[in-house]
Amino acid sequence: MFSRIFSLFLVFPLVLQAAGSGGRPNVLFIISDDLNNSLGCYGHPLVKSPNLDRLAARGVRFDRAYCQFPLCGPSRNSMLTGLYPNSTGILANAQIFRQTIPKQISLPQAFRLEGYFAGRIGKLYHYNVPNSMGTNGHDDPGSWELELNPVGCDRLEEEPKIFSLTPGQFGGTLSWYASPKADALHTDGLQAENAAWVLERCAAQKDRPFFLALGFFRPHTPYVAPKNYFDLYPEADLPLVSGVAEDQKDLPAHALGSYKKEQDKLTDPLRRQAIQAYFASITFLDAQVGHVLDTLQRLGLEENTIVVFTSDHGYHLGEHGLWQKQSLFEESARVPLIIAAPGLAKAGAVASSPVGLVDLYPTLTELAGVKPPANLQGQSLVPILKDPAAPGRGWAVSQVVRGGGFNRMGAAPAVGDNGRRISGYSLRTQRWRYTEWDEGRAGKELYDHDSDPRELHNLADQPEQAQVVADLATQLHKAVAASLPKDGRIPEMSSAVWAPNLTNP
C-alpha cells in the first residue's frame, strides 16, 4: 500500500523546479465527494464539522452555491474546465473532457502554464469509487506535475465487512461500515498526510507558488469511517423524512428518475444507520481537512494561500423519497462552497447570491493573476469576495439527463422515455427554483424558497404563478442557450484521449 506512495514521493524534487513567483498567491483546492450542506457552518443541528466551520469563519461562505450537473464526472469536468456540461460534452461518468474538447486548458493547467507547481492528491476528475481508489482514475495528465493516489484499509482490507443494500457492490449503492482502524490508516487519512508532506516541500520552494488540489473520497459510498465518528451520532437521535407519498403527488415522473429499486429494501432502522454512517463520514472528512489546515498554518503559508473547499454535488438522505444524487432538487444540486482569500473580505462573511461551480475557474485565475482561456462560461466571484452583498449573476443553472444510455447510476428511465434521452434543467434564483423536463413537455416544477425551502409544493400549475413561470422560463431558456458552445452543438465523444505534453510548461 505504501510503496506506490513513496515511489511517487521520490520523483517530487524532480518536478518542483524553481520559477519566479513574483509574490503570487498559492492555491489549496479541496473537494469532497458527494457532500451536501450538512455542516455546522451551514446551520445543521447535528453534524459536527469544527474544522470547516473555522475555515468558514475566516473566509466567505456561499449560501447558495450549485453544481452544474449532480453527478461526479460531469460536475468535475465542468468545474475544472470552466464550461457548462453542454460545452464539455461530458454528461455521464467514466469520461474525461479530452475525449470531447481535447485542447481546452483546464484550471490547474492554466496555473502550470504560468509557472505554478500543480499537484493532485486523490479524486479531482472522476473515479469509480471504490474500485479506482489507488489509481489515476479518469484523470487528465496534462493538468498535473504530480499525482498521488494513496489507498488505505477501507479499499480492500475492509470491503468484506461492509454492509451493502446490494451485496458485493459498494460505490453506487448504499453501503457502510464502522471501522476499528485509526484515521491515518484510511485513504482520506493517508491523503491528508500526503498533503502535509507536499505542503512542507512547497514551503521550502519559496520562489515558486503552488496549486495543490486535494480530493477526498468521503462521504461517498461506502460510508467507511473509524467507529468513534459513528459514536457521535446515536441512531435514536436521527430524524427520518416523513410525508414522502404526499410530497410526490405533484411531481413529474422525471423528477424522481434517480430513484433506485434497491432502496425499497430500506427499513427505518436501516435508514437511520445510513444517515449515521453518512454523518460519521462527514466528521471524519472534516478531521482530515483540519489536519491539512493545521499544516498550512504551521508552515506559515496561510496568509498567502487561497483556500477553496467545495463538493462535486449535493446528496439526498430520503428527501422526496430519494437517496444519493442526480436529481434537480435543492438537496442534490446545492453544494457547500467556502473561499478564504486573505485580505479580500470580512472574515466569516456569508454571500447569498446564487453561484455555480463553473465560476471557480475565472475566480481563481483572477485572484492569482493567471491568464484564463477566452471561452470560459463562468463568472468571477471576486466582486462577491470583496463585497458579499454584491448581487453577482443572480442565478445558477443545473442539468441532468434521463434515459438514452446516459444515466449510469442504475436508475431506470421514467415511464414514457422509450429509450430517448430526456434533459432536465433547473434555474435557481434568490427566491425561486424553476425546473423543466424535456423543455416542459414532460413536466415543470416551481418552488418558492421564501415559503417552501424544502421544495414540497410544486406551484408550476397554479394560475396565480403563471407570470412567474413565464418569466423564469425565459430566463432558463437563455441560460441553457448560453451553456452551449458557439456552434450550438454538444461536442461529440471520441474513444481516444488526448492530453497536452506539459512536462516543461
How far is 4 from 427, CA to CA, in rounded Å? 44
How far is 258 from 270, CA to CA, in rounded Å? 20
Inside any domain, residue 419 = no
Q: What is the pLDDT of residue 418?
A: 63
Inside any domain, residue 176 = yes
- Beta-strand runs (E) in 329-487: 334-340, 349-351, 355-356, 395-402, 422-429, 432-437, 444-448
Instruction: Say how many domains are in the chain.
Output: 1
What is the separation of C-alpha 220 from the centre of its chain, rounded to a whole number of angstroms? 11
Lowest pLDDT segment from 20-29, 177-186, 326-335: 20-29
Confidence of residue 501 (pLDDT cuts 50, 70, 90): low
Q: What percent of the chain has pLDDT over 90?
A: 84
Taking each helix axis from N to C end, the angle separating 187-204 and 268-298, rounded to the nearest 10 degrees, works out to: 20
Angstrom CA distances, 472 to 64, 208, 397, 462, stand at 18, 47, 12, 14
How far is 184 from 201, CA to CA, in rounded Å? 20
Confidence of residue 5 (pLDDT cuts 50, 70, 90): very low
The DSSP symbol for 186 reads S
- For residue 130, whether the previous peptide bond is cis, meaning omega lies within 30 degrees of 0, is yes
Greater pLDDT, 11 or 284: 284
How far is 339 from 55, CA to CA, in rounded Å? 8
Q: At 417, list the grid cell.
A: 422515455
Helix (H) or strand (E) holding 11: helix 2-15
CA 29, 32, 37, 42 dihedral sign is: negative
How far is 34 from 460, CA to CA, in rounded Å? 29
pLDDT tens, 289-317? 999 999 999 999 999 999 999 999 999 99
* pLDDT above 70 (res 419): no
> For the chain, how long is the longest CA-to-CA vector?
67
Summary mean pLDDT of the chain: 92
How far is 339 from 54, CA to CA, in rounded Å? 12
Q: Cβ–Cβ contacts within 10 Å for residue 451, how many?
A: 9
Q: What is the mean pLDDT of residues 426-433?
A: 99
Angstrom CA distances, 185 to 136, 151, 171, 346, stand at 20, 9, 20, 38
Inside any domain, residue 287 = yes
> If DSSP states are collapsed to H, E and C, what string results for 238-264?
CCCCCCHHHHHCCCCHHHHCCCCHHHH
Q: Cβ–Cβ contacts within 10 Å for residue 298, how many?
A: 13
Instruction: Give the number of C-alpha atoms closer than 13 A to the C-alpha of residue 414, restricted to the C-beta side.
Output: 19
Q: What is the mean pLDDT of residues 9-15?
A: 37
Lowest pLDDT segment from 9-18, 28-37, 102-111: 9-18
Interacting residues of 45 by C-beta distance below 8 A, sequence separation 6+: none
Contact yes or no for 263/165 (Cβ under 8 A): yes
Q: What is the pLDDT of residue 417?
A: 55
pLDDT tens, 344-363? 878 999 999 999 999 999 99
CA 481, 482, 488, 491 dihedral sign is: negative
Q: What is the mean pLDDT of residues 56-75?
A: 98
Q: What is the pLDDT of residue 429?
A: 99
Inside any domain, residue 415 = no
How far is 444 from 7, CA to CA, in rounded Å? 54
Q: At 127, list the grid cell.
A: 473515479
Q: What is the pLDDT of residue 502?
A: 63
Active site residues: 72, 126
* pLDDT above 60 (res 11): no
Q: What is the pLDDT of residue 415?
A: 40
Greater pLDDT, 264 or 11: 264
How far is 432 from 445, CA to CA, in rounded Å? 10
- Residue 103 structural domain: 2-393
Inside any domain, residue 319 = yes
Inside any domain, residue 432 = no
What is the separation of C-alpha 254 from the centre of its chain, rounded to a whole number of angstroms? 23
Here the CATH number for the domain that contains residue 373 is 3.40.720.10
pLDDT tens, 187-243? 999 999 999 999 999 999 989 999 999 999 999 999 999 999 999 999 999 999 999
What is the separation of C-alpha 296 from the centre of its chain, rounded to a whole number of angstroms? 22
Where does 116-225 have alpha helices with state H?
187-204
Q: At 266, list the grid cell.
A: 430500506
Q: Which of 144, 155, 191 is nearest to 289 (CA)?
A: 191
What is the separation of C-alpha 67 from the centre of its chain, rounded to a whole number of angstroms? 7
Q: At 107, list the grid cell.
A: 484550471
How far is 45 from 228, CA to CA, in rounded Å? 19
Q: What is the mean pLDDT of residues 55-67?
A: 98
DSSP string, 350-362: EE-S-EEGGGHHH
Inside any domain, residue 459 = no
Q: What is the pLDDT of residue 202?
A: 97
pLDDT tens, 109-167? 999 999 999 999 999 998 888 888 888 888 998 999 999 999 999 998 999 999 999 99
Beta bridge partners of 224: 177
Inside any domain, residue 430 = no
pLDDT tens, 442-463? 999 999 999 999 999 999 999 9
pLDDT tens, 352-405? 999 999 999 999 999 999 999 999 999 999 999 999 999 999 999 999 999 854
∠ Cα 482 422 326 (to 5°)? 85
Q: At 310, list the grid cell.
A: 467545495
